[in-house]
Amino acid sequence: MTENKGRVLLTGMSPETVDRFQPSLIEAGFEVVLEPDAGRATELLDRQGFRAIVSYYPLETGQLGTILDAMRAKDSPNYGTGLVLLVRRDRLRAAAGLVGRGVNKALSVEEAPVVLKIVLERLIEIAQPMVLRLPLAIEVSAISGRNRFEWTTDNLSGSGMLVGTEDPPVVGTAFRFTIFLPEGEIEGDGAVVRQTFEGREAVNGFGARFLRFQDDGQARLLQFLREAGA
């Protein structure tokens, strides 16, 4: 029996694009929910939780921002859900510029359907955040040297973290991090990708994406997250 991998929302797509990608997702165990109208998709995002969201790009002006607002709103059932954009190959570079700004992956619509399946499986494995408060040290390079901050994660996934602080770094700030797991330290490089919306999210602070890990750090982090969620 195929494992149920949860619901995936497909939006903004033509019937031809849906017909191309939907069968392989269903065969892999995803429950596919279709909403061709990206505007109406935001209503679904307010009410239902999804394991991943796949949207065609570009959408009508403002619709992608509305989707992102619905996903990142306070108490959203899709806070932390991965977002993948399907785009024509000649627009792929523009879409790739949105990665790290609320978008997890930009993928050419000409790719084989199995590629989207693999991307979604990977996103589900690493992107679902867990409420985990762990000691964290961050070093930010500055003209005068390195500034060291000691904070605590508010949630954590294999791809990034949410950190609570009243004085968050600006978006785009690169840093070195050390996360103190019970089994030992994990080190790597990250970047600030967003600041939280004061009054709309439970945590004041910033969201960061992991750029690279030292040695086997990501494998150890994923193992820790799997065990923590068991």
Q: Confidence band (pLDDT; 50, 70, 90) for 77?
A: confident
Q: Is pLDDT larger for residue 76 or for residue 200?
A: 76
Amino acid at the residue 168: P
pLDDT digits (tens, 9 = 90+) for 152-161: 888 888 888 8
CA end-to-end span of the chain, whole Å?
21
Residue-level pLDDT at 146: 60
CB atoms within 10 A of CB 103: 20
pLDDT digits (tens, 9 = 90+) for 129-158: 556 666 777 877 654 456 788 888 888 888
Sign of CA dihedral 131, 133, 134, 140: positive
Q: Whole-angstrom Cα distance, residue 230 to residue 228?
A: 6
CB atoms within 10 A of CB 84: 22
Domains of the chain by range and CATH?
A: 6-127 (3.40.50.2300), 135-228 (2.40.10.220)
**SS3 label, residue 89:** helix
Mean pLDDT of 157-184: 86
Residue-level pLDDT at 22: 95
Residues forming beta bridges with residue 130, ordered by sequence position: 156
